């Protein structure tokens, strides 16, 4: 089931060059890395762990609902 779930993640770069990532549809599911690639690898692991804990506690696994796009501010 988890293989079918594709969650939107938000990536933010810090002033020091590192990256933080969070999942809008999974509150509290966050990670970080020194590179964007590392941060994405870490958030994959965090999502899997988050879903496992939800299932272990008998909680509902939220369906992916968020999407993202880039908007031209000009």
User: What's 46's domain CATH number?
Assistant: 3.30.160.250
Q: What is the pLDDT of residue 8?
A: 97
Task: State yes or no: pLDDT of 54 exceeds 90.
Answer: yes
Beta strands in the chain (DSSP E): 10-13, 19-22, 30-33
For CA atoms 26, 28, 31, 32, give the dihedral sign.
Answer: positive
Would residue 14 count as lying in a domain? yes
- Residues spanned by the domain of 18: 2-56
Would residue 62 count as lying in a domain? no
* DSSP type of residue 40: H
Confidence class for position 4, pLDDT limits 50, 70, 90? confident
Task: Provide mean pLDDT across the span 2-31.
Answer: 93
Number of domains in the chain: 1
Q: Which helix (H) or strand (E) holds 50?
A: helix 36-56
Task: State yes or no: pLDDT of 1 exceeds 80.
Answer: no
């Amino acid at each position: 089931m988890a293989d079918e779930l594709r969650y939107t993640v938000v990536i933010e770069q810090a002033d020091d060059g590192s990256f933080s990532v969070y999942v809008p549809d999974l509150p509290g599911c966050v990670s970080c890395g020194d590179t964007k690639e590392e941060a994405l690898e870490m958030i994959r692991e965090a999502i899997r762990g988050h879903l496992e804990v939800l299932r272990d506690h008998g909680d509902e696994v939220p369906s992916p609902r968020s999407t993202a796009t880039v908007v031209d501010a000009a």
